[in-house]
Each structure stands twice: as C-alpha cells, then as structure tokens.
Chains A and B, each alone.
Chain A
Amino acid sequence: MPLLEIKNLSVSIPTPDGDVHAVRAVSLDIERGEIHGVIGESGCGKTMTGMAALGLVPKGARIQADRFHFDGEDLRENAVRLRGRRIGLISQDPAAALNPVLSIASQMDDVIRAHRDMPRRARRAEAAGLLAATGLPDPERVLRSYPHQLSGGMQQRVVIAQALATGADFLIADEPTTALDVSVGAQVLALLRKLVAERGLTVLMITHDMDVIAEACDRATVLYAGRSIETGPVDDVLQRPGHPYTRALLAALPDAAPHAARLSAIEGSIPAPRSTIAGCAFAPRCPQAMPVCAAEPPPERGNDGRRWLCHLPEGTR
C-alpha cells in the first residue's frame, strides 16, 4: 500500500467571482522511502495539493477525492492531527519560513517541546544534534543566532532540522531550492537524499524545475491545470515522455537544444483557474491536437506505475 494515496483530488476555493479550481483531478501514489517529484508551471495546483495534505488550505476551500489517504488514514479528517507528527513541511523561502524575531534556539525548542516530553537540557542537545544532522558546522552558534544572521542555505537546513524535530516520516518539500543559489540548492537536494536514505523518510518534492526532478527524485508526476497528466519513474518520464506537455517542457530546457539560436517555448498560456475544461486541458496549446482533444477527456495510457492521459495512441508519439 502506498504511504500517500491520492485519487482524483480536487480543491476548489469559492470566491465572489465563482469557484477557483486550484486542483481539478490529481492522482498520486507515493511509496515509502521514495522522493516523488511533482512538477508543473505556476498555478498548476502542485502547492495546493501539498497544502491539502497538510490541512492548510484556505478557509472555505472544498476538498473532494475518491481516495485521499495517508498510511490508511483519511486526510480529509486527520490532516490537522497528522501534520507536524507524521507529515512535515519544508517551505519554499526559508527566510520567510523562520520567525524573524525568535532565536533559532527558541524556534527549535518550540518544535521539540510540542512533540516530545524532555527536560530543557536534553531538548537543547537534541536541537544541536538535529542541526548537525543537516550538515550545519557549528550548531551551538546557529542556535544562538537569529534568522537574519544566517545565509539562505543555512536557513533551509534549519527548516529541515525543524521538520526532523517533529519526528515526521513524510516531508512535503515545496520548492526547497528555488530561493537558493544553484550550488547551495544542489547541496540541499543532496542532504534530502541522504536523510531519506538514513532515516527512511519519504518526500513529496514540489518543483517547477526539471533539473531538481532529474537530480533528486525517484519518480515524478507532471501536473497541468490542476490535473496529473503523467506519472512514472524519473528516467522514463524524462527520456520517454508520454504526454505532449511533458515533451514540450523537456524541449523548453536550455540544454535540450544547446546549439539552437532560440530556446523553444510553449505557445499560449494555461487555462484560467475559474474556467471549466471539457476535454484535454492542454489541447489549445498542443502541436498534435486533434478535434477529439477539446471535446472529450483523454483516456489513460500506459500501465502500472507508468501512466499518462492522452488521446494520441501509444506508439504514435
């Protein structure tokens, strides 16, 4: 049984101008011990999917799903109880994720105290140990610091140490490297891989960056306009993409066409979040679109663990 099991998740947020369909139909299976990348453009619903699993959707948002289970427990009822106990979050911008007016020591202590019954001294030692486990060289000095005195990479390691302090075995990493320099980002990804291997963690990696998928993930799911359109092992998805959108994404990478004068871009833009979509959401931008694409929802292709949604028959891609 997958650790996280999502089938046909939708999240809609009512507004005076009509419902915003932040997530339309996302299906995801995340196995224990894997790093599962979720990739897509801004507004594709990848962050909202993660927030739904944490029970941190905006007020009034409606969550519907055929299955939305974590380790057998329904997240629609138990997300608030599970978050911070078994499910942790690593935020996009570590500078914003840390409280600017509290020292690292007091922020680490708060987390440890919320989850474990330990005397003060032991909590301090535990905090230093967790910071050391994230590769911070001088944990005692970090504990005495305030967030603004640390570099972005150090801040992100503190955020990861906080997530570890909760004892969570499933981490949702929301663009953990976006706010960092490329080299620092690579270090953070390596750290996450190491922690997954050492501590048996499972990670949902939200990103818009194919390089992050290639570098750190075991499997990946591609989201477009609130739908999961393709999923599979990373090598398969990157080398033999099934969906035209995945192919377009890969073609848009700078190193996909090293000698080309111009980078290729995907023409058009994503559908408005309030619109209803009858057929394939990518049809208006798809170079291989057929009349049926705009009219009917695409069928599922592929087999176990390697699936995509497209009207194009297998083999014609």
Chain B
Amino acid sequence: MELLRYILRRMLLSAFVVVGVTFLVFVVAQVVPSDPAALYAGPRPTAEQIEKARQELNLDAPLQARFATFATAMASGDFGISYKSRRLIAEDLRAYLPATLELAVFSTGLALLIGIPLGVVAAAHQGRWADRLGSFGSIAAVAMPTFFLAMILQLVFAQWLGILPLSGRLSREIAISAPLQMITGFNLIDAILAGRFDVFGDALAHLILPALTLASYPAGVAMRLTRSAMIEILERRHIVAARALGLSEPRILFGHALPNAMGPALTVIGLSFAYALTGAVLVEIIFAWPGLGRYVSEAILAKDFPVIAAVTMVVTICYVVMNLLIDIAQALVDPRVALS
C-alpha cells in the first residue's frame, strides 16, 4: 500500500519533469538565433521560398498556439520531419534509438558488474593492497579520456590481438548477406528471437569495446561510492551482531552489508545511464555506432531543430523512466524508503 502510493507519487513527479522539458525545448527553439524557415527552404532560398516555408511551418501563428501544436505533436510521438533530410524523424529514431539504448543499457550493466563487487572487496580490505590497487584503478578509470581509452582498446583488441571487431554494430557479411529482421531494434534480443546465435555472437563482439569504453567512468564512480558506503556500513552494530552470530564473512559482506549499500549504488545506475545516453556521442563516432549520438551531432551542426528537439525529448523520457525504475527498485531493496 505504502509502496503503491510511493510509486504513484514518483510517476506524477516524472510527468512534471517531462512537461517541464517540453516547455524548455520549445523556449530554446524560439531564442536560438537562426531562422527555421530559411533552413527548411533549402540552400540559397529566395525570399518567396522562405515566405512559403514560413507558412508551411506555421511560424506566424501566435506563440501559445505554436506551443500547443508542438506539445500535442510531442505527446503523440509525431516529431515532424527533419529540415535537412525531409525524412520523418520518428522513423529515424526507430532505427537509431535502439542502437543507443542497447549500448547504454549494456555499458551501464557492465559498469555495475565491475564497479560494485570491486567496491565491496576494496571496503573489506580497507587500507590494504587490494584497496589501494582498486582505488588507483578507479581513479584511472574515471580520469581516462573516452577517446584515448577507445583508441587503446581498439589498438589492443582489434589491431594487435584481432579478437574483437574495430567498429560498427554488425559485420558487413551478416548485414548484407543475411540481415536480421528488425523486431525490437536491439540486435541481441532480435538475434535470440530469430534463433540466430551466429548473429548474437557477432553483435555481442561488436558491443564489447564501445560498451567497455563507455563503462569506464561509471564503473570507477560506482566502485568509489560502493566502497565508501560499505566502509560506513561495516562499522554498524548489525554487522558486529552478524559476526557474533557466526555468519561467514562473504555472507556478511554480500548478504548483509551490500543490500544496505545498494541505495547509493542504485543512484549511480541512474546517473551512469544518463551519462551513457548523452556521453555516447563521442563513443558512437569513434566506433561508427549508428546511434542517437551520431544522429543528433549531425543535426546540431545543421541546426536541424526538429531533430534536436525530438532527441532531447526521447533522451529525457528514457532518463525519467530509468529513474522511476530505480526509485521503485530502491523502495523494494529498502522498505523504509517508501515511508519517507
């Protein structure tokens, strides 16, 4: 009951955030010093062409009317057409969004799988060599520039060892000769649904290097946060009590202390997922990953505002949904959260 009320409250808050961002995106579009009609009209337009574009885009309508049109379009998932390519943005998103989400989810999962256990081990060995080594590693992981790490990984695993592909989302042979039917847009899931395990392996191999690159920063942060939370928790009375009850040390660390530290760790998931969504731009370019990052960076250079607005909205919604899920997970891990 408390949990249900808590979830409803969170959902209401999330809706407010989405409405707020819609408003912001619209306002920014108004103040950016560029004329959408001139862009829409194509290269070297005449005054007549610009005027025609202005009418087509309904730019002369009053501000509040245009916001209403914009908001309803966003709400219905109609993101309009790109000024530049004249393609339907919704269709572009259907191709690019799953690629980015796949990368973001996979790299966030990787970051947590690496960061949280290392944080637990470091806390358990506080001040000893394992802790020092872990701290050094986490600082290096956080401080390493993305492009540099990406190049090193490409050099080692693609160039020298030759065990992982350099870039792209699927091998050319597969993409051309036996393309995967798009169901969800997530290659890993589609491959399993189609029973194509060769494609699954290929997609996974392509995913590893960009995901590792993207996971480096959040893994370092997750490790630091888990470590400090665990050190604080390991001092608590109930841990002393668990030792006095004769529980094994691994059981105490992972079964009793870690669930208490999951609050901060879950918060990191939310932050690192947002980082993966937006920070993916550079990684997508380096690894030729056909995702939102590449799509939006081209749109920004072209001042293709509908595309920028659409991507901003989609990323916002992904982020808000992710945080909602984390809030719920937090309430499930710690029953006291729903009470506060």
Contacts and interface: CB of A to CB of B under 8 A. Distances in A.
B244 interface: yes
B263 to A, nearest CB: 9
A56 B237 CA distance: 12
Interface string B310-335: 00000000000000000000000111
Contact of B335 (A88, A91, A146): A146
A43 B237 CA distance: 18
A146 B240 CA distance: 19
Contacts of A146: 335-336
Contact of B244 (A83, A92, A99): A83
A84 B237 contact: no
Given A93-B237, A96-B237, A110-B255, A166 B245 contact: yes
B288 to A, nearest CB: 44
Contacts of A84: 243-247
B334 A114 contact: no
A4 to B, nearest CB: 16
Contacts of B333: 101
Given A101-B260, A102-B256, A148-B336, A114 B245 contact: yes
B337 to A, nearest CB: 9
Contacts of A25: none
Contacts, number: 80
A89 B237 contact: no
A51 to B, nearest CB: 8
Contact of A89 (B241, B251, B334): B241
Contacts of A56: 240, 243-244
A100 B260 contact: yes
A87 B333 CA distance: 31
B132 interface: no
Interface in B220-251: 236-238, 240-248, 251
A262 B260 CA distance: 48
Contacts of B255: 110
B248 A114 contact: yes
A98 B238 CA distance: 5
B259 interface: yes
Contact of A99 (B242, B246, B262): B242
A179 to B, nearest CB: 11
B120 to A, nearest CB: 15
Q: How many A residues are at the interface, by size bracket?
A: 20 to 34
A100 B238 contact: yes
B182 to A, nearest CB: 41
Given A88-B245, A89-B244, A146-B335, A102 B237 contact: no
Contacts of A120: none
A93 B242 CA distance: 14
A83 B262 CA distance: 28
Nearest to A82: B246
B95 to A, nearest CB: 42
A83 B260 contact: no
A13 B198 CA distance: 62
- Choose among B242, B244, B335 the residue with the greatest number of A CB atoms under 10 Å from its CB: B244
B256 A88 contact: no
Contact of B237 (A91, A110, A115, A163): A91
Contacts of A88: 244-245
A85 interface: yes
Interface string A221-239: 0000000000000000000
A100 B334 contact: yes
Interface string A143-173: 0001010000000000100110110000000
B167 to A, nearest CB: 43
A195 interface: no
B246 A166 contact: yes
A92 B240 CA distance: 12
A190 interface: no
A148 B335 CA distance: 9
Given A99-B256, A148-B336, A114 B246 contact: yes
Given A96-B238, A148-B335, A163 B245 contact: yes
Contacts of A91: 237, 240-241, 244
Nearest to A93: B237
Interface string B200-232: 000000000000000000000000000000000
A294 interface: no
Interface of B: 236-238, 240-248, 251, 255-256, 259-260, 262, 333-336, 339
Closest 3 interchain pairs by CB? A84-B246, A89-B244, A96-B237
Given A110-B255, A148-B336, A166-B245, 6 more contacts: A89-B244, A91-B244, A97-B241, A100-B336, A148-B335, A159-B241
5 contacts: A89-B244, A98-B241, A110-B255, A162-B241, A162-B245
